[in-house]
Chain A
């Protein structure tokens, strides 16, 4: 965790609070910088603190609480380059303030509900830091205090330990069931009953990966054979059916597609910038005509997607954001410096935003007005925040752990 550059008297109370194992680190607000505002958060709080002192007001140390989540709430997860202990930063994208943090174990999967009422993670700890008895568990946090409101142990350490793919853990629309993926010994999906705070069961699935819930008892997966599988788990035995195969064997789909559960739509790019819109609103997954993000000429120039989380989708605006750069083949995990904005309906390019930084992950706030585009740089350990309309960088939040990679937002728009 970073230390404020200038610790001012008014912040001492907050520092003290932080020392008392508060999960909400209000002090984080002290160092976030706002490019547009003349006064930084730190300066503002210094002025407030000085004014209180001048008035002779006592400062009562307390444990802070989280404000209610809004559309600009953004979560940055730091897998910390496979460190045994990790962190998640809860940020107000509008101000660029860090509002709070949660601690995690090894490669946890953050799970945030669309209405912002569930902050959870599927995590792993060992009794001796990185060795000894392993415990997998689901932890749910109170959204106001960030205190754990549920701690549910997962039997037989079933988690898939992998670089964080957002869709390897997810929630059903009613937020009552958490799904997590198991790779070993064979593909399976674990169901966790959040409502009753208990592990439910594992469902055996075919050779398929990632989960995209569409209903409280239904999710889809992407299978090795190039089809989508529909898994209905409401009955005693899961019902599994497959779509047509929709991509060729040499058409490589990335690990981190964008999924809008409200739109029941996946935007799934390939290594070359073809984007498959996968429509999950019907009886079975249906793949619409693929969108080519780049012209033939651009592809020849080397334009291709790249990064950790290189695609985002704005549901209301029906826009796709693709992080890309000119690159060599097989450098698809390297950061990129541009975001291509594409109309999902027409497949036409709306604009190209120069990010000005080496960006690894992007996402967008889902509000229709004042939409923010987030660009996370793993190397800079900084979240750069842009005005989606103008493409201008408006603020940034730095010192976000050791290797932050994953941005999560909620889709609160109706």
Chain B
């Protein structure tokens, strides 16, 4: 869809490359490389924009500041709120939701009501952007994020950069930055194009290599995969309900309320206070539907091991905690009613309505061995480029464990 839309823009601007013209004259077949060229140019422009702090009010942050490519496109920066939520360009404002990975986000369908009766696709935790293009412009104009006052200001920043002027003109035709609305949308499309490149979705994790027969999983990882496939995980964290998906993103892109408690620490710091209730999907524009309250998009589990903290509000620091949380709904053992990070009860759901009980109440508690196995499996979903990060994390965890052991 994005490709088609981009092509339409390109055609309208009448700047088809020579090869495209030749292609149109002969057959549709040779159009592809030209389209790919256009897409590549757009993605290259998107790449420039992605790393450019000029798109923030004070020039202190770019997309990549919060979506750091070295950290699975999440925000590694520690603030007063830890890494649960991100700090804006003003150096003070804190978001209310955790910065999600951009890895594999291009694989999500556009927002729609699925045959299942559930809303599906879109971007943001609450799906309020229909697709990546719709999403890309929003952080620039969000006062608690990049903080630009309006689209005109963004386009003005672009105009000040000769390289942008050249790139936009090359792709969209002369004076491509002339019209603010159009130029802003083109910038968003470029960012979306960049996020649609294999750099964001390489499918080169250990799990992919295992599926291709290039590597073996350990017994524990295999066990984790078996648990994942047979327990309730796969009811939401799989593209398809059945059949084979070769490019699995480990989300059905639907929305669920799993009863996450408020991240009180964040709410106290970002000024929203404890009275505030995050409506989730019910806050999606035009979706005045109380039955969607508290639902959030099922996130991809790719790179999950290196993109903590977890859940829409970053309330759990450790992946193991995020896995164990699900035991809350299945256990009769008091041990699993405790958040291991706080030593206290999990806390009431922020939105107690619309809980996905059909899926959550599986009737089976995940034992410690299975939690470990699930974590081991989830770690295999780490892209190759982040494997050193994973190794580092594991080493740190092991060191911490040894310290605790030594202390005891």
Binding site for B on A (CB under 8 A): 184-187, 204, 206-207, 224-225, 249
Expressed in whole angstroms, the Cα–Cα distance for A82 and B278 within the complex equals: 47
Expressed in whole angstroms, the Cα–Cα distance for A110 and B134 within the complex equals: 64
Out of A184, A204, A224, A249, name the residue touching B369 (CB < 8 Å): A224
**Is B365 an interface residue, CB under 8 A from the partner?**
yes
B363 near A186: Cβ-Cβ < 8 Å? no
B219 near A185: Cβ-Cβ < 8 Å? no
A373 nearest CB across to chain B (Å): 39
Contacts of A206 in B (CB 8 A): 367
**Is B175 an interface residue, CB under 8 A from the partner?**
no
B369 near A185: Cβ-Cβ < 8 Å? no
B363 near A207: Cβ-Cβ < 8 Å? no
**Is B364 an interface residue, CB under 8 A from the partner?**
yes
**Is B331 an interface residue, CB under 8 A from the partner?**
yes
**Is B332 an interface residue, CB under 8 A from the partner?**
yes
Expressed in whole angstroms, the Cα–Cα distance for A225 and B363 within the complex equals: 23
B369 near A207: Cβ-Cβ < 8 Å? yes
Out of A186, A224, A225, name the residue touching B365 (CB < 8 Å): A186
A185 near B363: Cβ-Cβ < 8 Å? yes
B367 near A185: Cβ-Cβ < 8 Å? no
- Please give me the residue from chain A that is nearest to B219 by CB atom: A249
22 contacts between A and B (CB under 8 A): A184-B363, A184-B364, A185-B330, A185-B331, A185-B332, A185-B363, A185-B364, A185-B365, A186-B331, A186-B332, A186-B333, A186-B364, A186-B365, A186-B367, A187-B367, A204-B333, A206-B367, A207-B367, A207-B369, A224-B369, A225-B369, A249-B219
A21 nearest CB across to chain B (Å): 36
Interface residues of B in 375-389 (CB under 8 A from A): none
Binding site for A on B (CB under 8 A): 219, 330-333, 363-365, 367, 369
How many A-B pairs with Cβ below 8 Å?
Answer: 22
- Please give me the residue from chain A that is nearest to B370 by CB atom: A207
A26 nearest CB across to chain B (Å): 44
Contacts of A184 in B (CB 8 A): 363-364
Contacts of B333 in A (CB 8 A): 186, 204
Contacts of A185 in B (CB 8 A): 330-332, 363-365
* New A-B contacts (7) at CB < 8 Å, excluding given A184-B363, A186-B364: A185-B365, A186-B331, A186-B332, A186-B333, A186-B365, A206-B367, A225-B369
Q: List the 10 closest pairs (A to B, CB-CB), nearest first.
A: A186-B365, A185-B365, A185-B330, A184-B363, A207-B367, A184-B364, A185-B364, A185-B331, A185-B363, A207-B369
Contacts of B364 in A (CB 8 A): 184-186
Expressed in whole angstroms, the Cα–Cα distance for A186 and B329 within the complex equals: 12
Contacts of B331 in A (CB 8 A): 185-186
Expressed in whole angstroms, the Cα–Cα distance for A157 and B331 within the complex equals: 15
A208 nearest CB across to chain B (Å): 10
Expressed in whole angstroms, the Cα–Cα distance for A186 and B363 within the complex equals: 9
- Please give me the residue from chain A that is nearest to B368 by CB atom: A207
- Please give me the residue from chain B that is nearest to A207 by CB atom: B367
Contacts of B369 in A (CB 8 A): 207, 224-225
Expressed in whole angstroms, the Cα–Cα distance for A134 and B333 within the complex equals: 22
B246 nearest CB across to chain A (Å): 28
A201 nearest CB across to chain B (Å): 12
A248 nearest CB across to chain B (Å): 11
Expressed in whole angstroms, the Cα–Cα distance for A249 and B223 within the complex equals: 11
B364 nearest CB across to chain A (Å): 5
Contacts of A249 in B (CB 8 A): 219
B369 nearest CB across to chain A (Å): 6
Expressed in whole angstroms, the Cα–Cα distance for A204 and B334 within the complex equals: 11
Contacts of B367 in A (CB 8 A): 186-187, 206-207
Expressed in whole angstroms, the Cα–Cα distance for A224 and B226 within the complex equals: 15
A73 nearest CB across to chain B (Å): 38
B49 nearest CB across to chain A (Å): 50
Expressed in whole angstroms, the Cα–Cα distance for A249 and B331 within the complex equals: 27
A394 nearest CB across to chain B (Å): 46
Expressed in whole angstroms, the Cα–Cα distance for A186 and B219 within the complex equals: 22
- Please give me the residue from chain B that is nearest to A250 by CB atom: B219
A242 nearest CB across to chain B (Å): 13
Expressed in whole angstroms, the Cα–Cα distance for A224 and B367 within the complex equals: 11
Contacts of B332 in A (CB 8 A): 185-186
A93 nearest CB across to chain B (Å): 41
- Please give me the residue from chain B that is nearest to A187 by CB atom: B367
A341 nearest CB across to chain B (Å): 36
Expressed in whole angstroms, the Cα–Cα distance for A185 and B370 within the complex equals: 13
- Please give me the residue from chain A that is nearest to B331 by CB atom: A185
A184 nearest CB across to chain B (Å): 5
- Please give me the residue from chain B that is nearest to A182 by CB atom: B332
A332 nearest CB across to chain B (Å): 20
Expressed in whole angstroms, the Cα–Cα distance for A207 and B363 within the complex equals: 16
Expressed in whole angstroms, the Cα–Cα distance for A379 and B365 within the complex equals: 37
B334 nearest CB across to chain A (Å): 10
Expressed in whole angstroms, the Cα–Cα distance for A187 and B219 within the complex equals: 22
B251 nearest CB across to chain A (Å): 26
- Please give me the residue from chain A that is nearest to B329 by CB atom: A185
Expressed in whole angstroms, the Cα–Cα distance for A184 and B365 within the complex equals: 7
Expressed in whole angstroms, the Cα–Cα distance for A204 and B332 within the complex equals: 10
Contacts of A186 in B (CB 8 A): 331-333, 364-365, 367
Listed residue (A184, A186, A204, A207) with the most chain B CB atoms within 10 angstroms of its CB:
A186
Expressed in whole angstroms, the Cα–Cα distance for A227 and B144 within the complex equals: 56
